[in-house]
Amino acid sequence: MPERTDLAALITGHSAVIEMINSGDAGLPVLTQLLRVARSAVGAASVAFVEFAPTGGRVIAASGNAKWMIGRPLPASDPVTVCLLAGPRVRQVRVDHLPGQLAGELAARGLRRMIGARAEIGGLTVGSLHALYADGEDAADPEGQAVLGYVAACIAHMYGDQSGLPVHGDGPVVAALADGLAVVDREGHVRLWNPAAAQVTGRSSAEALSRPLPFPLPPSGQVLDHQMPDGRWLRITSGELAGPGTQRVVTFRDITDQQRRDSERDLFVAVTSHELRTPVTVIKGYADTLTDHWESLTDTDRRQAARVIGQRANELARLIDRLLSSAIDGRPGGEPAVPFDLGEALRATVPDLPADLRHRLVLALPADLPKALGDRHSMATVLTELGTNAAKYSPPESPIEVTAGTDGQTVLFRVSDRGIGIRPEHVERAFDRFWQGESGDRRGYPGAGLGLYLVRRIVEQQNGWVSLRPRNGGGTVAEVRLPRG
């Protein structure tokens, strides 16, 4: 690391970040650039950012030699998570003194010192910034620690502005904190604005008082659901306030999560009916043809009809299985994790894949791949879903490459395509249930939007993790990592 904190690199890098924001960039690209700036300024081997939600954390961005952690979940009960959320906002710790699997993997890679800085909004932790140092490197001095605290505060500001963050839909920033309360006069100007109103809307009392409400005012006694510019939904009610003058009392609360659940329910019904209708219609059409015109059909026509019925029935069975799997907790089959040959499991899956997908797969699996720890049978579902997703978003007949390897602590395989690629801000949203339908891609790329959601659930139930990233030269790379057996 440099002899002292490189403030010139900080200022120059931060100026570039501001230019990105002014040019319209937001979310993960800006966050990743901030991590590069922090790493250069404090001379760390790598810098990573963990986003926290009520259920735990997840590494969403990294710079340096910690990029392998991107997508890694940190459950709320993980010792590292507990450590990150406690104590001073900026602190230095010895990684090799921490319990837990992740700490062990970092220490095994020689990253034994860490400075963590929490990103907080009003006492609420939205994430944690981490500078990691290799053996023989001195960790940042107090000046460098102050820099990391500053960068963490900048990231928190991005969350407060909803600038493409949080990455996860269930992040704490969009969660309702309490009901807001306001009193407005006859001109519609705010006369009272309680602390909860400031929390729900992001407008302080100074910004709200003597100004119009930042949302429509419903008629007295009525309820209005209104979407704010940042995408959040508020449920607003109003009533006449007793006493002299014409004043109204307004209450409002964040119903974003409820709106999301309602939207998912409606989307589930729409997707299910649409996806089931197509194969059922085809099966019924060919079955009716065989029934009504059996004698006039040639043997070739009959075999073709039977073949189509079989193909569509397989599609129907697979769709039903995915729908059921998305609603059931637990590892498929309920089997305990055991060492297994990942390469053999992937090869064994290929013959059972749909013919059009099977012919496009190009396998490059090393013979000496170490065993992985998990559920061998579930790899068939994982490879099928990742391969199907790659085929859907890439040109017909273009190759889909399946490669594998190990880094010592994990065993991994990658599915790479040469398709339309994935934008950085979508690498996490793609794993949301039904997200495809919400993204507006359904017309060009039909599907239930469940494949990647199921893959992440299956892999994480085996203490692994999965991530997406753009492929150099175009396309997308899906990477699955499992503990080494």
Calpha distance 377→458 (Å, rounded): 11
What backbone phi and psi angles, to 5 degrees, belong to 318?
A: -65, -40
Task: List the beta strands (DSSP E) in 360-446.
Answer: 361-364, 372-374, 400-406, 410-416
* pLDDT: which is higher, 223 or 3: 223
Residue 398 has pLDDT above 60, yes or no: yes
Mean pLDDT of 332-351: 83
Residue 147 has pLDDT above 50, yes or no: yes
> At 390, is the pLDDT very low, low, confident or very high (cuts 50, 70, 90)?
very high
Residue 171 has pLDDT above 70, yes or no: no
Residue 2 has pLDDT above 90, yes or no: no
pLDDT at residue 441 in the model: 46
> At 265, is the pLDDT very low, low, confident or very high (cuts 50, 70, 90)?
low
Mean pLDDT of 2-10: 74
pLDDT at residue 443 in the model: 42
Q: Hey, what are 155's tokens?
A: 């990231």
β-pair type (372-374, 361-364): unpaired
pLDDT at residue 78 in the model: 74
Mean pLDDT score of the chain = 81
Calpha distance 160→154 (Å, rounded): 10
Tokens 């053996």 belong to: 135
pLDDT at residue 140 in the model: 62
> At 272, is the pLDDT very low, low, confident or very high (cuts 50, 70, 90)?
low
pLDDT at residue 275 in the model: 58
Q: Reduced to 3 states, what is the DSSP secondary structure of residue 289?
A: helix
pLDDT at residue 54 in the model: 61
Residue 362 has pLDDT above 80, yes or no: yes
Q: What is the pLDDT of residues 181-239, one digit of tens each?
A: 787 887 888 877 777 788 888 888 788 888 899 999 988 878 899 998 888 889 998 87
pLDDT at residue 161 in the model: 64
Q: Hey, what are 172's tokens?
A: 């704490």
pLDDT at residue 137 in the model: 67
What is the DSSP secondary structure assignment for residue 213, as one 8-state letter? -
Q: What is the pLDDT of residues 69-128, one digit of tens each?
A: 888 888 777 777 777 777 788 988 888 788 878 888 888 888 888 899 999 876 778 889
CB atoms within 10 A of CB 292: 10
In terms of DSSP H, where are the helices of 85-171? 101-108, 142-160
β-pair type (223-227, 124-134): unpaired
Do you find a cis peptide bond into 336, omega within 30 degrees of 0? Answer: no
Q: What is the pLDDT of residues 429-451, one digit of tens each?
A: 888 876 663 444 444 445 556 77
Contacts of 67 (CB under 8 A, 6+ apart): 46
Cβ(412)–Cβ(405) below 8 Å:
yes
Global pTM reads 0.55
Q: Reduced to 3 states, what is the DSSP secondary structure of residue 240?
A: strand
